[in-house]
Structure 1
């Protein structure tokens, strides 16, 4: 899920977003030949964007 729209600065940790991404892919039954549906692809793309933001935030926090 994307960060809270009421508080755009509140991002979920990358590990949590990664768990959601793994769960999305696992929902395909584990068969790499099964493609995501159009709706799942939208969710996946949002998760990728959220994960990237979380990783960047981790890097900035560590600096």
Structure 2
């Protein structure tokens, strides 16, 4: 796995979480392919901000 760029963790986990919640609210619970890509990016950013890891679907 490639290391994540340090810019991914520039925001706090709370800020990223708020963006994730906003994405789900805007989508009405059904993500478009672009929304899904954004969601996966946000999950990676959130994991970096919390110091954890995240499992993504393939």
Same fold, TM-score > 0.5, yes or no: yes
Residue 42 of structure 2 is matched in structure 1 by 47
| Structure ID, larger Rg | 1
Whole-Å Cα distance in 2 between the matches of residues 20 and 56 of structure 1?
18
Change (3 A) 1:9 1:48: closer
Unaligned runs of 5+ in 2: 53-58
Change (3 A) 1:28 1:56: same
Kindly tell me the number of residue pairs found equivalent between the two proteins.
Answer: 48
Q: CA deviation at 1:23?
A: 0.1
Q: CA deviation at 1:8?
A: 3.3
Which of structure 1's runs of 4+ aligned residues deviate more than 4 A? none
CA RMSD of aligned residues (A): 2.3
Q: CA deviation at 1:28?
A: 2.2
